[in-house]
Amino acid sequence: MSLPSTISIETLTPEAVAKTIDHALLKPDMTIAEVLEGCRLCAKYQTASVCVKPCDVKYAAAELEGTGVDVGTVIGFPHGNSPTNVKVCEALTAIDDGAVELDMVINIGHLKSGQLDEVRNEIRELTAAAKAKLPSCCVKVIFECSLLTDEEKITACKLSEEARADYVKTSTGFSTGGATIADLKLMRANTNPNTTHVKASGGIRTLDFLIECLQAGADRIGASATTAIVDEMRARKAAASTSQ
């Protein structure tokens, strides 16, 4: 479902809002029963995807088969410190288990160390391996913007784009900060909108902030407050309809 050219409460629908959301089920203590409950919520609201821990991909894929909701997972999460071959292995295993979207954490320390060729090559190698196995696989690169300077964020955008990743993403939601409007605008300004999408993630708990993120250039939203966000959209639409 494509978004309207002008993003606002008036132009959006509850269905369109839901289709921007990657529903996050990533808490370390989350049980399989809670994961399955979250998957059923995704099917009910028809989110874009569910994003689960790698160990839960097979459960999510089985639960969501035929629902139209994609299954995603995280790679090198949450710190990005695994060697490249481990990240690639994790990605290919996730695809075998049923994932079609992969959110990989950039090697933050090596980016900050100026090891740019290494960082670019890691993203490129993982993206190429994933798409060789599953051509439709969507690869998103998580920056952890709260730990980076603006110059480093811009560099990460360029490296991700050169490596042919599908998305650049603000945050894991497990560090010192989440999505900010300033970061989203910076990421959108430093990537080609025809080839590279932007995902906002971390601290997005309200409809108003979700809409701000979309207005700032985000194409996809990582959130766990899906019920509250979509239900608020439905309530506002209903109120607007009765007032006319």
* Residues marked as catalytic: 169, 199
Hey, what long-range contacts does 227-234 have (CB within 8 A, 24 or more apart)? Answer: 227/41, 227/45, 229/17, 229/21, 229/205, 230/14, 230/17, 230/18, 230/21, 230/45, 232/206, 232/207, 233/9, 233/12, 233/13, 233/14, 233/17, 233/207, 234/14
State the residue for tokens 């971390």: 202
User: What 3-state class would DSSP assign to 198?
Assistant: strand
State the residue for tokens 């080609």: 192
Using CB atoms within 10 A of its CB, is residue 110 exposed (0-12), middle (13-18) or buried (19+)? middle
Interatomic CA distance for residues 70 and 65, integer angstroms: 9
Sign of CA dihedral 181, 5, 157, 173: positive
Contact 210, 16 (CB under 8 A): no
